[in-house]
Chains A and B, each alone.
Chain A
Amino acid sequence: MNQADFKRLSLILLFMPFALWILLLIILPHIGMGVLALREKVGPRVYEFGFGNFIDFAMEPIYWNILFRTGSMSLLVTALALIAGFPIAYYIAKIAGRRSRGALFLVCLIPLWVSDLIRAFGWILLLRETGVVSSTLLWLGLVDAPVEMLYNDITVVIGLVYTVILFMIVPLVSTLDGMDNAMIEAGYNLGGNGWTVLRRIIVPYAMPGIISGCIIVFMLTAGSYLTPILLGGKNSSWFTETIYEQFITRYNWESGAAFGFLLLAFTSFVVWLGLKLSGQTLAGTVARN
């Protein structure tokens, strides 16, 4: 075996796990779902090819409602995660000393060591009517009666921001880290105040990080299941819940699969729109990190 063959073989072997993963766990299941989604049920054990499942979705305002609700709340979560995450990322990348940086990163990471489920239960313990926050307020005399802070949309948003904020911080830190401090100093030397420096120098430089953070956070939020289900109230439907209902409660795998594709198409469209509006490309943001 000569050198070139050997190189090619090792490349193929190195590539193999990734290729198998993509093929067996991503592409094949999606093909299966696609076939399911295009199958219409006409009777027990009788199916026909057609777009009926998608038409059913289009004709039912409830589903549109839930999809847009999920989309708009995910955008809100993304915006809040950016607003809360940017100062933290900036502090870690630019202000904190070399030694405290590792510690700060670790502090951000620790909540991820427990599962989503446990974190959601943590919020439930804190926010319920007989929970920690409510009874503390009562004890301090700030309120007269117990307050219910669970089971509404605000709680869902808080819980989601908490779950995903790390995925905003990491790309931001890595982008801001590459920024030369001299650029900021130059901005001040040329007479800019803090706001101008932030707006004209730091944010444009961090744009790829901001966009990639936003894409990841938006996708995670729109596709999340546990947090909205556990913290949400009687009016909070989330689109993933509808998909679960179709598959499990209604035995309607066909429309469940169609809904899955619709969610994928919808989130992809929102991401595409965001990239267009901010003038970034996918290769220049997510792929860069």
Chain B
Amino acid sequence: MRIGTLAGALLAATMLTAATAAQAETLRLLTWGSYAPEEVIKMFEEKYPDIDVEVTFSNNEEMIAKLRATGGAGFDLAQPSHDRVYAAQLEYDIYKPLDLSKIDTSVMQEKLLDGVKANTTIDGKVYSVPHQWGTSGLMADKSKAPDVSGWGDLCDPAYKGKTSMRLKRTILLGTAFSMGENPFEAYSDLDRYQKILDKVVDKLITCKDNIKAYWKGGDDLSALMLSGEVVASETWDSTAYKLYGENPNIVFVPPKTGALAWIDTFTLPRKGKADDAAYKWINFVLQPEIVKLMSASTGAIAAIKGGKDLMPEEKKAAINAAFTDADIANLQFFANIPPGVEDMEGKALEKIKAATGG
């Protein structure tokens, strides 16, 4: 008898969940840490009470790996960087084209929108629109390393044992620029690119002696800089802005060859189930008052008209301390990664890591 009641109750409970599930839609976001602040999610769910937002934090490489494992299922909206969409789509077919009529593209900054569109159009179909952008460059403690101005300065013996970098493709590209090459132009000719990479590898291996340690994440880097153990490092601008708030001597330094700029996009996974909710999210987070909350959380600048003015005050100060208008004009946007380049760069990084010279 008691078992019968229990079973009945369970059955009723299951039916109830099924009924609510049919009404409520779930929007599964695959994005960067801090790109979906609690507050914004709450406001979104208040405006669209029938949509539940689920967030998975990730990075460029893991996003592609996750979507590749399922053939593009499991998430409804992803946010890869603009240079990581084209090759991933060609190789693994994990995204689907956007319906631009459902996105209010009029609020976006035209230069960024056109740039992203040009980078992510395959067979005449657009796969991504921009969300936020930022740069990679250098960070220096001005009181201890006043002369840092280019990528090569990380290898300056004056700062021996007091510099750091992340052993990823950014530093390969930066070093290539500092040696007077343009790696992005060489992408179309892989033999030429390999020659550049070989030179970069040699340079970074001799530079190893100068490096204290390779940082692996933002927290790691923050601890190294704040403790003064490292005085100059390769960095994301947002990390530098955060540290500027704690120690105004620590500033972001756009390298003289140009800071490397990335744009994080909105892109739909191929087997996403809640496209409409995804479009609603895109339009929602591009509203000026939401952008303010978002930029405060991410430290990146929204790709909308006047995005820089919507940064929180203390970050605006950090940006102004770092960038002149000339620096902005000098930005180098990451070029699309053609198939095969990842493998070449991976090999180069392995060589540097395994080398014991230094």
Would you list which residues of chain B between 339 and 354 have a CB under 8 Å from chain A?
Answer: 339, 342-343, 346, 349-351, 353-354
A44 adjacent to B339 (CB under 8 Å): yes
The number of inter-chain residue pairs (CB within 8 angstroms) is 69
The verdict on B300 contacting chain A, using a C-beta distance below 8 Å, is no
Q: Chain A nearest CB: distance from B268 CB in Å?
A: 20
Looking at the assembled complex, report how far the CB atom of A56 sits from the nearest CB atom of chain B, in whole angstroms: 10
| Residue B356 at the chain A interface, CB threshold 8 Å | yes
Contact with A along B258-288 (1 / 0, CB 8 A): 0000000000000000000000000000000
Which residues of chain A are within 8 angstroms of B189 by Cβ–Cβ distance? none
Asked whether, in the complex, the Cβ of B65 is within 8 Å of the Cβ of A45, the reply is no
Q: Is the CB of A252 within 8 A of B91?
A: no
B208 within 8 A of A: yes
Within 8 A of B (CB), among A109-168: 128-130, 148, 150-151
B91 with A44: CB separation less than 8 A: yes
For A251, give its contact among B64, B168, B350, B355 (CB under 8 Å).
B64
- Whether B91 contacts A62 by the Cβ 8 Å rule is no
Q: Is A98 an interface residue (CB 8 A)?
A: no
Given contacts A233-B213, A248-B65, A251-B68, contact A128 B227 (CB under 8 A): yes
Interface pair A251/B65, CB less than 8 Å apart:
yes
Whole-angstrom CA separation of A211 from B208 in the bound complex: 40
Q: Is the CB of B208 within 8 A of A234?
A: yes
Question: Does A249 contact B342, Cβ atoms closer than 8 Å?
Answer: yes
- Which residues of A have CB within 8 Å of B62? 248
B90 pairs with A151, CB closer than 8 A = no
If A129-B227, A250-B343 touch, whether A229 touches B216 (CB-CB below 8 Å) is yes
User: Among the interface residues A62, A246, A247, which one has the most CB atoms of the partner chain B within 10 A?
Assistant: A62
CA distance A150 to B229 in the complex (A): 12
77-132 of chain A: CB within 8 A of chain B? 128-130
> Would you call A278 an interface residue if the criterion is a C-beta within 8 Å of the partner chain's C-beta atoms?
no
A65 at the interface (CB under 8 A from B): yes
User: Is the CB of A235 closer than 8 A to any CB of chain B?
Assistant: yes
Q: How far is the CB of A124 from chain B (nearest CB, A)?
A: 8
- B320-358 interface bits toward A, Cβ cutoff 8 Å, 1 = contact, 0 = none: 000000000000000000010011001001110111101
CB–CB B339/A248 < 8 A: no
Given contacts A44-B90, A250-B343, A251-B342, contact A234 B64 (CB under 8 A): no
Is B214 in contact with chain A by the CB < 8 A criterion? yes
Closest to A235 in B: B356
**Which of the residues A62, A234, A242 comes within 8 Å of B213, measured between beta carbons?**
A234
User: Would A130 and B229 be within 8 Å (CB), given that A234-B213, A234-B214, A248-B65 are in contact?
Assistant: yes
Residue with the greatest number of chain A CB neighbours at <10 A, chosen from B65, B213, B223, B358: B213
B228 engages A130 (CB within 8 Å) = yes
Distance in angstroms from A178 CB to nearest chain B CB is 46
Does any Cβ of A come within 8 Å of B212's Cβ?
Answer: yes
CB distance from B155 to the nearest CB of A (A): 13
| CB proximity of A238 to chain B, nearest CB, Å | 10
Choice from A151, A230, A245, A251 contacting B212 with Cβ under 8 Å: A151
- A160 vs B303: C-alpha distance when bound (angstroms): 46
Rounded to whole Å, the gap between the CB of A270 and the closest CB of chain B is: 21
In the bound assembly, the distance between CA atoms of A129 and B212 in angstroms comes to 11
Q: Considering the complex, which residues of chain A in the window 42-61 have a beta carbon less than 8 Å from any beta carbon of chain B?
A: 44-45
The answer to whether A245 and B346 have CB atoms under 8 Å apart is yes
Q: How far is the CB of B105 from chain A (nearest CB, A)?
A: 30
A245–B61 alpha-carbon span in the complex (Å): 10
The CA-CA distance from A75 to B350 in the complex, in Å, is: 24
Residue numbers in A under 8 Å from B339 (CB-CB): 44
**In the assembled complex, which residues on chain B have CB atoms less than 8 Å from the CB atom of A235?**
208, 353-356, 358
- Report if A62-B354 is in contact (Cβ < 8 Å); known contacts: A128-B227, A251-B91: yes
Min CB gap B78→A, angstroms? 15
Q: Does B93 contact A (CB under 8 A)?
A: yes
Contact partner of B343 among A128, A233, A252, CB < 8 A? Answer: A252
Given contacts A44-B91, A234-B208, contact A65 B213 (CB under 8 A): no
Find out whether the CB atom of A129 lies under 8 angstroms from the CB atom of B229.
Answer: yes
Chain A contacts of B92 at CB under 8 A? 45
Decide if A237 touches B353 in the complex (CB within 8 Å): yes
Query: Is B354 touching A45 in the complex (CB atoms < 8 A)?
Result: no
Does A66 count as interface, using CB distance less than 8 angstroms?
yes
Q: Is the CB of A247 within 8 A of B65?
A: yes
Give chain B interface residues in 55-101, CB to chain A under 8 Å: 61-62, 64-65, 68, 88, 90-93
Most chain A beta-carbon neighbours within 10 Å: one of B88, B208, B216, B353? B353
Q: Which residues 163-177 of A sit at the B interface, judged by CB distance below 8 A?
A: none
Q: In whole angstroms, what is the CA distance A189 to B88 when docked?
A: 75
CB closest residue in chain B, given A129: B229
Seen from chain A, the residues whose Cβ lies within 8 Å of a Cβ on chain B are 44-45, 62, 65-66, 128-130, 148, 150-151, 229-230, 233-235, 237, 242, 245-253
Q: Which residues of B contact A (CB under 8 A)?
A: 61-62, 64-65, 68, 88, 90-93, 168, 208, 211-214, 216, 223, 227-229, 339, 342-343, 346, 349-351, 353-356, 358
Q: List 5 A-B contacts (CB under 8 A).
A: A233-B213, A234-B211, A235-B354, A249-B342, A250-B342
Q: Which 7 A-B pairs have the closest CB atoms?
A: A250-B346, A130-B227, A151-B213, A62-B354, A44-B91, A248-B61, A129-B229
